[in-house]
Each structure stands twice: as C-alpha cells, then as structure tokens.
Structure 1
Amino acid sequence: MVLRLPSLPSRKERVLSIALDLSRPGLAAGRNAHVLHRAAAPEFSGWLEHTRPAGGCARPIRLTGTLAAVDPGTGRIVSEQHTDELPDRTLYKACGNRRESHCPDCAWVYAGDAYQVVHCGLTGGKGVPASVGRHPVVFATFTAPSFGAVHHRNVRRHTCSSRQRCDCRPDPCHGRRIAGTCQHGEPAVCFARHDADDPQLGQPLCLGCYDHGHQVVWNYLSGELWRRTKQAIERHLAALCRRRGIPFVRLVTATGKIRWVPPVRVSHGKVAEMQRRAAVHFHVLLRLDGVDPDDPDAIVPPPAGITIDDLEPAVHTAARQITVTTPRHPDRLEGWVIAWGEQVDVRRINTADGELTDDRVAAYLAKYATKSTEVTGHCSTRLTAATIGDYADPEGDHLARLIDACWRLGRPTHNATASGAATTGGRQGHLDAEPNPYAGLRRWAHMLGFGGHFLTKARRYSVTFGLLRDTRATYRRTEDDDTTDTVTVAILTYIGAGWLNDGDALLANTAARQRRESRRIGREELAHEAWLIGAAA
C-alpha cells in the first residue's frame, strides 16, 4: 500500500506565499525584511532542516560547542564538527516547556506523551501488559473544601449533548442563602445566572470573609493529603483481604529478609487542575493490581476476592477520614486542618453509557497536564523580593491576596515549632524540619501555593516520559539512515534562548505547522484506507 502524502511547497513557492502573507497591513516592516532576506538566501533549505528539531518552539534553546561522532566499538572519533560551521553558528533545541500558555508546540508534544502514559496504564502497550485492560479501574475526582462563598455556575440537570459546549440554563448563583449582608457589608446573596465565561466565576462574594491563608496552605499540602489518602485506600483493601481470608504474599527482599505484604496494590495516574477560585483539585485513575511473589515489579491482576465494588467504597472512606493537621505558625498557633471537600466523585470507566472511556479519560488528563494557573487569570514566573510587590496586595483582589498570603506565611520566623508534627488518625509524623515549615510558600507564590507536579503516576502504573523521549530520539536518529553505527557525543554550552529575530521565528514555525499538517493528513488517509479494507472484507 502506497500513501501519497502532501509534499511541502518548493522554496520559491514558500517565499512567494510568505511574501504575500506579509504584505498584509499591521505586520512589522522589520519582520518582513528578515523573512524575505532569509527565505531568498540559497542556504534557506539547509537552514530549515537545521532548525527542524526546534521548529514551532516559542523560545528554543541556543547551544554552542562541539559534536563528535564516536565509534562505540573502539572509542575512536570518526568525525568532529563545531557549531560555528552550522547555520547561525548555533544549535537549536526545543525548550520542552509543558505549559501551553508558554510554548504551544512543546506543550503539544508533552500532551501526546501524557496521553500515552495514561492510556498505556489502561489498555497496555509499550511494555505494559495488555492484561491491565481487565483490571478494575475507577476515575476519582478529589476537590478542595470551601474557604468562603464564591460565585459559581450550577446546572442541576444537563440537557446539552456536550459539557464542553454546555448552554443549559444555570441556577441562581447563591439565591437560596439568607438575604442580608456579611460583617464587612457585602451582599450575602447573588441571584445572577452566570455564563460559562463570566469573569465573576470563582471570585469571593466577600474578600474580607474569605480565608486566603487557609487556601494557600491547602494548596501547599494537598500532595501530602493525597499521599496519605492513597495509603488509607490500600490499608482499607488490606483489611478486606484479612477479613475474607485472602492470604498475604511472601516476598524476599534484596537483603534476604522475608516480608508478608497485602496481595493487592493500587496504582494511580493523577493530574492536578487549578479551579477558577485558585484551589487545586485532583483527577485520579486508580487501578487494582496484584502482587507476584516471584517478581514484585510485575503487573498482574488482583486476587479474585477483591473487585471494583470494593475499590469504590475504599476511596470514599479514605476521603472522609483522612485529614492533616499542619504545624504551628505565629499567625495561627493551632495550625490548619487540611481535608478534602464534600464533592468526591468516583466513577467507573468503560460502562454501557460510554461517557467515560479509556480514550476520553486519557485525553482529558493529557489536556490538563499542560495547564497551570491560567484559568485564574494569573500567569507569572517565580516571584522574588524585587517582583512580589507587583502581584501581592493584602487589600487587593482575590489573586493579589492569595499571593500576599503565600509571601506572608512563608516569611522567616523562629516562633514555629522546628519539628512541627502532623497528625493523621492518631499517628504523628514530621512534615518539615525547617524553623518555618511553610517557608516553601514563598517559592511557590507564583503557583498560588501549589508546588507539586501537575501529572504524576505510581511507579508501576505505566511507562515513563523518559522512555517515550528516548524512543522518539532513537527513531529520529535512525529515520534517515538505519545503518548508523556511531554515537554522537556533544560538548555544548548554553548561549541564549529564543530565535534570533521575529522573521526566523515565523519561518521556522510555519514550516513546523506544515509538517504537522502533512503528518495529520497522512494518518487520516491511512485510517480511512484501513477502514475501507475492513469494510470490504
């Protein structure tokens, strides 16, 4: 079967096309000159091929140094080249930023990897056994508690076909509350029926009544809350195994010691999503696995006595019971209580209604893996003492008060207990040994207190990002020549970030979009031809 992919236009056609596009009013004259000068140069095709690894990147990394081809058998240098001999006398590398707001192209690649990581944990593939598709799995959503009344959009009964394009009529925002004003004189009710894009959504009804300090501390320690919640889920399932007479598994450690472990473990894939009120909540895939006594790292089905009907109540029980009492702080000597909100949703996937499937869940988590704080309206780099004044204000809006709370609670202090204890269910453990256990809030003030990864997984859940990147790099090295028997050793130094000018950025990004479009059309043609063959059979 031969597939004819759409070919890229010739250099002359690209120059003419770009020249026509740049003739439109409103574009900078300097960019026009750079584009026409670069595209008309004889070495333009070589420059496009040279920038291909970073094509589409918003701020590529520029490197200088030496590239040497080494024979892996003898260690002899076969050839050597300095970046001064390359176009622009530099080597371009994509920045690899996962945030869509910073670099859409690199975030697109990251989202594709995230999809594979999540999807392989549900269906198998890329080294994960296909038997995981028969393991019990639930999709759980853990939300933050209320820190004060905020404007929200509540639709009690959806009649729309897609929640992404929901046009259902919402209920009044806070119409059922007792009419009147709060202690700060602000209205305690809101009868508005907010649209989905209403900027008031997520904003407190009263900034003075809202507990901004508690929210940033919750964001800061939400990862610890999740860790203990997962431990509680596994303890609940282990207790079920004891009651039902399911024997524990005998394992021999590397040091020769014998351990008896529960016959079931929980593997998870988790993504954090920032809500409009600037509190994170977690979407988690929880998969039941068994334990192989001969190979503890193997992914095997759970014992027959533990099913998905046991996993769902275990998640709800752990979410209700687990709390974390934080260490003392001069602003709050009793600490804060960190717990999940009342809205804990646990749903099964691949059910008869087809609303939650493997593909949809994987795509959903991959999408939010590229997000950050953009939905709140705040997006900045790490804040310092020189820049905090531009964002923090104790009398400002919602976001300004949250950032101020991070900076205020994370200030140096020696009044807090050095070994502040966190209690959970009567057990004690140390959260931090610093004089101020909340010092990290200053480091993550630009993230409104949340310092965790936006996508995490259990070690045995699926493949890793590193494996996917290594596979892609190996494919690219052998794509043009599969007989390569040398290894490239590079000694490179960072010299800057970003394209040399706007014209180069436009040319490289346009070529990258054309290549992506060509691959997309090719995949669609292959899928269509496979469908035709299947229909004919």
Structure 2
Amino acid sequence: MVPRLPSLPPPHEETAIFTTYRPGLAAGRDAQVLHRAATPEFSGWLEHTRPAGGCSRPIRLTGTITAVDRDTGRVLSEQHTDELPDRTLYKACGNRRESVCPDCAWVYQGDAYQVVCRGLTGGKGVPASVGRHPVVFATFTAPSFGPVHHRHVPRHTCRHRQRCDCRPAPCRARSNAGTCPHGQPTACFARHDADDPRLGQPLCLDCYDHAHQVVWNYFSGELWRRTKQAADRHVAATCRRRGIRKVGILTASGKVRWVPPVRVSHGKVAEMQRRAAVHFHVLLRLDGVDPDDPDALVPPPDGITVDDLEDAIRAAARQITVTTPAHPDQPDGWLIAWGEQVDVKRINTVGGELTDAKVAAYLAKYATKATEATGHSSTRLTPATVDDYADPGGDHVARLIDACWHLGRPTHTDTTGGAATADDRQDSLDTKPNIYAGLRRWAHMLGFGGHFLTKARRYSVTFGQLRATRTTYRREEDDEPADTISVGTLTYLGSGWLTEGDALLANTAARQRRESRRIGREELAHETWVAA
C-alpha cells in the first residue's frame, strides 16, 4: 500500500500557485501554453497530469514508485519521479470546499450524494430493502441570539424555491417600534430581496450575543449527540409499552447482551446560515435488529411506524439541552438548546415534494460549503493573522471571530507578574485544561469544529469504500496487472501548477473529458430507452 503522505506545511510555505486568470499576464500565459504545447513530450505530459486535471492547486510529490508482486513481494520495477515529466508526481488536492477547488469539490459532492442516497434506496452493498424503512427529513436550527434581518415569504407561488421571486413580508414590522439601549431601531419594514447583503445581520451589533452564538456553534455537536441518544431511548420506550421484546445479541466474549429491537440510523449535513449559526439537516431511518447478524440492515418490527420516529425526534428536540462548563466570562456556563423551528418531514409520501433523489442532492450540495454564506472565508487563524479578521467593534463576522479568540484564551495563567512557583505549576497540572481553547482553533469556522457531513456507521456506504471502488476502476481502465501493487515512497514538494499556462491546459483537458463522459452517458441512456 502507498504510505500516508506527510502533513502539508502552512500555506505561506507553499510554492507558487497559478490558478487565477489575471488580464495583465494574459500574454505571458499564452506564451506558456504555446511553449508547453510545442514540446515533443506534450502528449505524455498531458497524460501524466490527468489524475490532477481540473484541480486548482494539485499537490506535487517527489520520491520513488515501486511495483511489487502481490503474492511474493518481489520488486518488479522501480521508478523515481525525476524520470517523469516536470520531475514530479501530480495528485489532486481533494479539498471538499467548492470555494477552494471546484473540481475536487465536484468529486466530493458526487461521493456525498452516493453516501446519502444509498442509505435511502440501497445499492453499492446496501440492501434495497432500506427503501421500505420509515425515514424522515428533519431540520434542527439554532435559537435566537438577537434580532437579525430576515426574508420571510408567507405564501409561495413560485415554481422553484431556488429561484424564488415571491413578494416577501416586511422584515420586522412593529407597530410600537422604538430603539434599543444603543439607539438602534428595533424594527425593519424593508422587504428584503434574496441577495440583500443585510440578510442575517443583527439589527444592533451591540445588543447581539456573539459570545453565546460561537459557544453554541462549538457545542452543537454535543447537543446533536444527546438528541440522537434521546430519540433512541424514546423509540425503545415505545417498544416496551407495546410489548415488543428486546433482542439478545451474542458478544465476542460469549455473553448475551439485550438491546432494543429498533435503532435509529442517520445521515447529517451541517449548513452555515447567513447569521453565521449552523443548523443541521438530518435523515433519520428506523432499522430493526437481527440477533443472528447485528450488522444486517433489516426492517423494524411490526408496530413501530414513521409516526413513532417523528414523535421521538420532536420530543428529543424539546427536552434535550446542554449546560456548558464554567468560564471566567460566564461562571454558570451557557445553555445550549435547539431553536423553536424544528421541522420534520416525511419522504416519498403521496403528493409530497420530497423524494430520495431531491433530498440526497440537497444534502450533497451543502457538503461542499463552509462559511461562504456569511461572506467570510479564510484558513486557520494564528496569533499573527487573527487581527486581520477579528475586531470587537467591527461587523458581525469580525465580532464572532473576536469572541472565539477571546473565549478561547488561556484561563489558568500566573497573573501576579512574578515567576511561577512549584505550587503554581502543580496547580496548573491539577487544573483541567480550558475546554473552550478549541474556539481559537476553529475561529475561522466561527466556532463550529465538526465535520459538515457525518453519518451513523450502519446508515450507508463510506467515502473510503467509494474511493476504493474508483481506484479499482481506474486500475482496470489503465490495464494494471491485478497481481501487482504500487508502493510509493513520496514526500511533499509543493502545491499548484508550475505555470498559469500549465493550469489552463490541464484544466481544459479535464473539462473536455468530463463533457465527453456526460455525452456518452446521455447517448447510452437514450439507446437503452429506445431499446425498451
């Protein structure tokens, strides 16, 4: 197997990245294209860069690639990257964020669609019977941390919500509107357009509780974990009331463990709202438990329906809260709870708008997003760069980043100004570390440190399985011997294409290949339809 690559250096240590079109360098770029295309090795170079074609900032690797016999371990051949075009091996960056690398995000979005959709319809190792399991689509939102500008349409008459042109209601109409303690109006009578930059912005920045919001983002994963557990317990209690017995599972130690006959599997995507608070879109599916094969996906027992699943979710969302640990700025901690808008919808109902494909595409779309909806996008912040983004008197996002940095500060330090004594050092060892320290690590994500797509272990296929299948397909396409494996001893050399001309050539070739595949799929589908 190819060993894990070493961690990449910080962005400021990377080599030049030429991926953005700059009109002033158009002539130089054209010259680079002509120079590359005129070389005799151009076709070989284009084939060599194919694995990273379309990537905005491919990773360049140097080292040795060895072909080894799978059965005997005998070395069949060995090649150094100095013998390859550009004396380097190109690898796509694999970044999931569309704002960083659209091509790699397109691949990730396709994998995310398969992960979500296979849990709804089956396929790729998931039995098709999961399509008959009770499933709901739930949205969990954050509570209010202060009034913000929003767009509300009381009644939709448009055909497509993505291109909604319906007339919205006034933002925050108040008959007795006044001003807040800071002199800002407490009402807004504007009918905001969908692209209005004021959407998500607080009516008064000084009244808004920025600290509570970043703490909510930080602990939202724990809130979801407890909510999921509460939903499981609620369904298990429903089984007990209806006389559905527990299932005995034989453990590895030979003992029998009694578990509820129903479990809830989920696939979850986090979306960053314009006000910079995350909310979760979750698919929850009811599965049964097979005592002979606990990993099998079987339907829930008779007597447990989608109504019970919906009741369990609503009850858990109402009841579960988290009180965070004490902080010097908030000795009693912060209360973390869901907002009032907990929406639960059923999928594939008669006359309903939600179908398997629509829900899977909807969730996959948000899997490639991060904080772009808030207007902020940056890499991880450091003490040297945080002042470029954090400002306690700045705009909404700047205050959120400042709140992350302030709350995540070291809280157990020597404040006397003198040298720390042995007792002070022992106290620091005995004291638990600041649990809020991670807010600084995730300040660029406005406090949210979770992954934007997660799932239960038994919900569906994994990204690793999909990538392994794709790797096998590529090896068969390249006619690689099945009894040979490639072992790479590679180190990081740099990121990005060597020239802007190389980026244009490689990305253009990648787009042409994708278009050719798309046309081929359409023609194959047409031939299949005609034959039927």
Cα displacement (A) at 1:480: 2.7
1:277 & 1:212 partners in 2: Cα distance?
A: 10
The DSSP-based 3-state class of the residue aligned with 1:37 is helix
2:159 & 2:512 partners in 1: Cα distance?
A: 33
2:375 & 2:206 partners in 1: Cα distance?
A: 20
The DSSP-based 3-state class of the residue aligned with 1:49 is helix
TM-score if structure 1 supplies the norm length? Answer: 0.91
2:157 & 2:189 partners in 1: Cα distance?
A: 22
Letter in 1 for 2:68: V
Q: Is the 8 A contact 1:142 1:343 kept in 2?
A: yes
Identity of aligned residues (%): 81
Match of 1:85 in 2: 83
TM-score if structure 2 supplies the norm length? Answer: 0.91
Matched, 1:158 2:147: no
Matched, 1:390 2:349: no
Gaps of 5+ in 1: 1-21, 416-432
Cα displacement string for residues 16-47 of structure 1 (whole angstroms, at most 9, x for unaligned residues): xxxxxx9x976522111111100111111110
1:427-506 aligned within 5 A:
434-481=432-479, 483-506=481-504
Q: CA RMSD in A?
A: 1.4
Match of 1:106 in 2: 104
Cα displacement string for residues 419-443 of structure 1 (whole angstroms, at most 9, x for unaligned residues): xxxxxxxxxxxxxx84311110000
Match of 1:510 in 2: 508
Match 1:191 to one of 189, 192, 195 = 189
Cα displacement (A) at 1:248: 0.4
Match of 1:309 in 2: 307
1:263-342 aligned within 5 A:
263-342=261-340
Cα displacement string for residues 488-517 of structure 1 (whole angstroms, at most 9, x for unaligned residues): 111111111111011100100000000000
Match of 1:211 in 2: 209
Match of 1:519 in 2: 517
357 and 177 in structure 1: CA distance in 2 versus 1, 3 angstrom threshold: farther
Q: Is the 8 A contact 1:248 1:260 kept in 2?
A: yes
Match 1:41 to one of 33, 39, 42 = 39
Letter in 2 for 1:131: S
2:149 & 2:313 partners in 1: Cα distance?
A: 29
1:25 & 1:257 partners in 2: Cα distance?
A: 71
2:87 & 2:480 partners in 1: Cα distance?
A: 28
Matched, 1:128 2:126: yes
The DSSP-based 3-state class of the residue aligned with 2:435 is coil
Letter in 1 for 2:405: W
Cα displacement string for residues 370-390 of structure 1 (whole angstroms, at most 9, x for unaligned residues): 000001000000000001111
Could you tell which deviates more after superposition, 70-79 or 369-378? Answer: 70-79
2:267 & 2:305 partners in 1: Cα distance?
A: 19
The DSSP-based 3-state class of the residue aligned with 1:504 is helix
Cα displacement (A) at 1:73: 1.8
Match of 2:236 in 1: 238
Could you tell which deviates more after superposition, 442-451 or 172-181? Answer: 172-181
1:146 & 1:480 partners in 2: Cα distance?
A: 55
1:49 & 1:97 partners in 2: Cα distance?
A: 22
49 and 177 in structure 1: CA distance in 2 versus 1, 3 angstrom threshold: farther
Cα displacement (A) at 1:414: 2.6
Q: Is the 8 A contact 1:273 1:368 kept in 2?
A: yes
Match of 1:409 in 2: 407
Q: Is the 8 A contact 1:178 1:188 kept in 2?
A: no
Q: Is the 8 A contact 1:325 1:337 kept in 2?
A: yes
The DSSP-based 3-state class of the residue aligned with 1:490 is strand
Q: Is the 8 A contact 2:261 2:289 kept in 1?
A: yes
Cα displacement string for residues 440-478 of structure 1 (whole angstroms, at most 9, x for unaligned residues): 000000000000000000000000000100110111011
Cα displacement string for residues 280-306 of structure 1 (whole angstroms, at most 9, x for unaligned residues): 000000000001111111111101111
Q: Is the 8 A contact 2:71 2:483 kept in 1?
A: no
Letter in 1 for 2:512: Q
Q: Which has the higher contact order (CA 8 A, sep 6+)?
A: 2
Cα displacement string for residues 323-355 of structure 1 (whole angstroms, at most 9, x for unaligned residues): 001111110111100000000000001112241
The DSSP-based 3-state class of the residue aligned with 1:304 is coil
Tell me which stretches of 4 or more aligned residues in structure 1 moved more than 4 Å: 24-27
The DSSP-based 3-state class of the residue aligned with 2:103 is helix
Q: Is the 8 A contact 1:63 1:494 kept in 2?
A: yes
1:217-236 aligned within 5 A:
217-236=215-234
Letter in 2 for 1:229: T
The DSSP-based 3-state class of the residue aligned with 2:399 is helix
Match of 1:429 in 2: none
1:106 & 1:254 partners in 2: Cα distance?
A: 41
Cα displacement string for residues 65-99 of structure 1 (whole angstroms, at most 9, x for unaligned residues): 11111111221111111111100000000000000
Letter in 2 for 1:103: C
Cα displacement string for residues 44-73 of structure 1 (whole angstroms, at most 9, x for unaligned residues): 111000000000000101001111111112
Cα displacement (A) at 1:412: 0.4
2:193 & 2:34 partners in 1: Cα distance?
A: 46
Letter in 1 for 2:502: D
Q: Is the 8 A contact 2:96 2:105 kept in 1?
A: yes
Letter in 1 for 2:200: G
1:26 & 1:360 partners in 2: Cα distance?
A: 43
The DSSP-based 3-state class of the residue aligned with 1:522 is helix
Match 1:50 to one of 25, 48, 51 = 48
Cα displacement (A) at 1:161: 0.3
Letter in 1 for 2:133: H
Could you tell which deviates more after superposition, 96-105 or 170-179? Answer: 170-179
Q: Is the 8 A contact 1:177 1:188 kept in 2?
A: no
